[in-house]
Amino acid sequence: MKVFRYTPRSFARAVEAGVFGDQKVELLGGVPHLMTTNPPHIYVVRRLAGLLAVVYPADHWTIYEEKFVKIGSWMPQPDISVIRSPASQYLPRLAEPADIRLVVEVSDMTYALDRGKKYRRYAAAGIPEYWIVNLNDQFVQVFRDPEGSGKTAQYRSSATSHEGEAIGAIAVADILPPKV
């Protein structure tokens, strides 16, 4: 049996036509993937977007929350992406790797995907910086300096930060949801 794979164009048309209803989906390797969302996830995305807006001034950068970007045959919907301004240049097209400074995935049930396929794809595309906010284990991984292609793509630099530490001017405690 042959598996149907979407192209970015056919996937965009399916999303616009409401094929997936209210479900949040992204295209990874021609296959639609459902995205998870829950209150802690939503909290972290909104909180971190606000913190990044201070670090990346609006006259040079736009902070996207859960917007599609185009990376070859993929159309992921990173939880946050920092792209070159002005945002109006993305009205006729999606942001592509050359436009992207930083991608962030907030991970609860998707860590294996975020640290596996997405990590390699973002590195292969040359995305300069990739963060994974791990909600389950309460840390943030920062990857920088991509190299390689395909399954061997990776980031040369990586650091894991916990509560009490900072990533540049951003305290990890300000990113993670409060303990209840």
Under-70 pLDDT residues of the chain: 180
| Domain containing residue 53: CATH number | 3.90.1570.10
- DSSP state letter for 137: T
Domain membership flag for residue 133: yes
Q: Is residue 26 part of a domain?
A: no
CA distances from 93 to 13, 30, 90, 143 (A): 14, 19, 5, 27
Q: Give me the domain span that covers residue 82.
A: 36-175
97 within some domain:
yes
Q: Is residue 49 part of a domain?
A: yes
Is 107 among the domain residues? Answer: yes
In three state form, how does the secondary structure of 143-163 look? EEEEECCHHHCEEEEEEEEEC
157 in a structural domain: yes
What residue has token string 């070159």? 84
Cβ(115)–Cβ(134) under 8 Å?
Answer: no
- Please give the pLDDT value at position 178: 86
Amino acid at 106: V
CB atoms within 10 A of CB 141: 22
The pLDDT of residue 7 = 92
Using DSSP's 3-state secondary structure scheme, residue 47 falls into: helix
101 lies in some domain: yes
**Torsion (CA) 25, 27, 29, 34 in degrees, nearest 10:** 0
- Output the pLDDT for position 1: 74
Q: What is the pLDDT of residue 3?
A: 77
Q: What is the DSSP letter of 59?
A: T
Task: List, in order, residues 6 or more apart from 30 with CB less than 8 Å away.
Answer: 5, 6, 7, 73
Q: What is the pLDDT of residue 65?
A: 94
Q: What tokens does 23 get?
A: 């479900």
Question: Can you give the pTM of this predicted structure?
Answer: 0.93
**Per-residue pLDDT at 37:** 84
Per-residue model confidence (pLDDT) at position 142 = 99
Number of domains within the chain: 1
Q: For the segment 126-156, what is each residue's pLDDT rounded down to a tens digit?
A: 999 999 999 999 999 999 999 999 999 999 9
Q: Which two tokens stand for residue 164?
A: 């009490």
Does residue 16 belong to any structural domain of this protein?
no
- For residue 112, what are its two tokens? 């294996």
- What are the backbone angles phi and psi of residue 14, rounded to the nearest 5°? -65, -40
